[in-house]
């Protein structure tokens, strides 16, 4: 398999001689049935330059081309803004989200989100793909976030997220001195019925697992600098889990944190690690600290 413009070309060899095309695409590209069906519907698969309209048998020497470039109309309104791009190619995009903006619109016509700025970025670069986020960050959490540029990349990255091979590492400043140097919080999270947006640890909630490691402590100010990795991606997961063990994040007033040091939760998605959905290369993207967290680290943990 090789990349060709914005698509992929596969030369059928002895291994796949006489097999059904869709089975080959599933094996070689990890393409799901819905993705393959979408390609067929939009005439994006060609065998020896002929469009495929059903599941044909391929023979040794056949050339299969899949056009990955999409021209779907997006409901996200393009809006000019600066993007801090950590990684980009024809298949995926990783950006460093600033604090204070939502990842994507929650209602039709909404602007002012990261997705709006990415839609503009695609537009000015002649890309007609939809804005497809693979995971999200809370509005006031900064850091690395992954977007897919087409259905195949989105499906594969979603699988990595489910299988925990797409790894997300966060840095947080928590109140108090954590006694354990490292540990795991394995507590289900559900909605807090007494508050419209808050979550809480609840036996009836969804499974949630967070691993933490203390990087530094400040005894005088009773603060801990913590590195965290997510196994699951529940809403407010790190914030809820840290508050549940008595160490809410600095600035996180929703979960009991004080606002003296920061006017948002002191949480930054420092690193994302994923296997590239097409090339299978390891992609590691690190997002530098924003000024507010960088200043706190310098003031209290240097």
pTM of the predicted model as reported, rounded to 2 decimal places: 0.91
Write down the pLDDT at residue 75.
85
Q: Which of 148, 139, 173 is nearest to 258 (CA)?
A: 173
Assigned CATH topology for domain 2-67: 3.10.290
Q: Which of 264, 267, 245 is nearest to 254 (CA)?
A: 264
Write down the pLDDT at residue 163.
92
Cβ atoms of 87 and 93 closer than 8 Å: yes
Q: Per CATH, is 168-269 categorized as 3.40.50.1360?
A: no
Residue 36, both tokens: 């393959």
Domain boundaries, given as residue ranges, for the chain: 2-67, 168-269
Q: pLDDT tens, 240-292? A: 999 999 999 999 999 999 989 999 999 999 999 999 999 999 999 999 999 99
CB atoms < 10 A from the CB of 37, how many?
12
Cα dihedral sign, 41-47-51-56: negative
Is residue 110 within a helix (H) or strand (E), and if so which, with residue range? none
- Catalytically active residues are 138
**Residue whose structure tokens are 């000015």:** 124
Residues of the chain below pLDDT 50: none
């Amino acid at each position: 398999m090789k990349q060709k413009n914005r698509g992929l070309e596969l030369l059928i060899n002895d291994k796949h001689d006489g097999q059904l095309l869709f089975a080959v695409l599933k094996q070689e590209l990890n393409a799901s049935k819905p993705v393959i069906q979408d390609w067929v519907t939009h005439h994006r698969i060609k065998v020896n330059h002929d469009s495929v309209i059903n599941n044909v048998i391929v023979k040794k020497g056949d050339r299969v081309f899949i056009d990955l470039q999409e021209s779907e109309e997006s409901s996200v309104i393009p809006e000019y803004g600066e993007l801090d791009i950590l990684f980009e190619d024809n298949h995926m995009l990783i950006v460093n989200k600033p604090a204070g903006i939502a990842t994507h619109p929650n209602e039709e016509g909404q602007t002012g989100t990261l997705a709006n700025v990415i839609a503009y970025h695609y537009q000015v670069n002649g890309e007609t793909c939809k804005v497809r986020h693979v995971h999200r960050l809370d509005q006031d959490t900064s850091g690395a976030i992954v977007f897919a540029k087409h259905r195949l990349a989105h499906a594969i990255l979603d699988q990595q997220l489910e299988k925990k091979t797409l790894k997300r590492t966060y840095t947080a400043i928590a109140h108090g001195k954590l006694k354990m140097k490292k540990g795991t919080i394995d507590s289900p999270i559900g909605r807090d019925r007494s508050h419209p947006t808050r979550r809480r640890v609840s036996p009836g909630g969804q499974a949630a697992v967070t691993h933490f490691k203390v990087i530094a402590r400040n005894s005088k100010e009773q603060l801990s600098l913590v590195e965290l990795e997510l196994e699951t991606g529940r809403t407010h997961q790190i914030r809820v889990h840290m508050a549940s063990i008595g160490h809410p994040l600095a600035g996180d007033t929703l979960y009991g944190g004080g606002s003296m040091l920061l006017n948002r939760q002191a949480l930054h998605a420092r690193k994302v690690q994923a296997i590239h959905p097409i090339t299978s290369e390891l992609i590691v993207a690190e997002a530098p600290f924003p000024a507010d967290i960088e200043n706190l680290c310098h003031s209290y943990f240097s």
